[in-house]
Structures are given as structure tokens and as C-alpha cells.
Amino acid sequence: MRLATLLALAMLAIVFLASAAEDPSVDAENTVGLASDETLGTFLVDGEGMTLYRFEDDDPGSETSACYDACAERWPVFFADEIRVPEGLEETDFQGFVREDGVIQTTYKGWPLYRYFEDKLPGDVKGQGLGDVWFVVNP
């Protein structure tokens, strides 16, 4: 039984990796990509396909973040030292700034970018709409 479960998990991983390899939005060459959902439309993901979010309490373009301490534990900042994007995105829309805690954070059109700690698989959007202040980033 245990071996069958392990084999099933291995097969699932192979199928997922094969489908990710065929999906241009999940590209090892890109540090930011695009994913889509029927309800949410197209949204930003990191190079591993994990959803990127924005926080309504942030002031876009101010190079500051309103998410520290416990907030930053649940919403880790996104940083990519080099931005590479697929067709449909512009590298120049991404910048970075040094937060008050010394961490560098990437922004998209001025909005600081975050991941959500409950998102475990590429394409998860468990943070969407939380507290009515966290949202996927639609380009």
C-alpha cells in the first residue's frame, strides 16, 4: 500500500512537471510569469508558478511596505535580482526597493509583491481576497 502511494505521488509529480514544461507561463527562464483562472483572469506568478499578490494597505510607488513582522511571516516578500518575463509583460514595469527591515522587495508598477504562505502548489490562490486587502496582481 505504501509503495503504491509513493508510486502514485511520483507519477503525479511527473505529470505536473511535464504539463508545466509545456506551459509558457511556467518557464525556468522567467523570474515572473503569467497564470490564469476562470474567475480571476490572468495574474502574475513567480518563476516557479507561485501566485504573486499585492496589499491594499501599501502605497504604490512610495517604495515602502505596510507588511512587517507577523504580516511578513504570512506574506513573504517577493524578490528577484534579475527580472525576465514572457511575452505580454514588460521588464521595465518591475523595480525593487530596500524595505525598512533591510529586505529587498520587487514591485510591479509600484506595487510591492508578496507570496502567501498557505499557497503550496503553483497556481494556488488561497490568499485572494483575504481581509478584503490581499489580491492577485492582474497585469
Type of residue found at 117: F
Q: Among 77, 59, 69, 68, which residue's Cα sits nearest to residue 117?
A: 77
CA dist 9 and 14 (Å) reads 9
Cell numbers at 104, concatenated: 529587498
Q: How many domains does the chain have?
A: 1
CB 67 within 8 Å of CB 74: no
pLDDT for the residue numbered 29: 86
Residues of the chain with confidence (pLDDT) below 50: 1-27
CA dist 136 and 8 (Å) reads 32
Q: pLDDT by residue (tens digit) across 65-105?
A: 999 999 999 999 999 999 999 999 999 999 999 999 999 99
Count other Cβ atoms within 10 Å, centred on residue 12. 10
Domain that holds residue 72: 2-136
Q: Where are the beta strands (DSSP E) in 47-109?
A: 53-55, 94-98, 104-108
State the Cα angle at 33 between 28 and 38, rounded to 5°. Answer: 130
pLDDT for the residue numbered 28: 58
Contacts for 47 with CB less than 8 Å, ≥ 6 apart? 27, 28, 30, 31, 32, 33, 80, 84
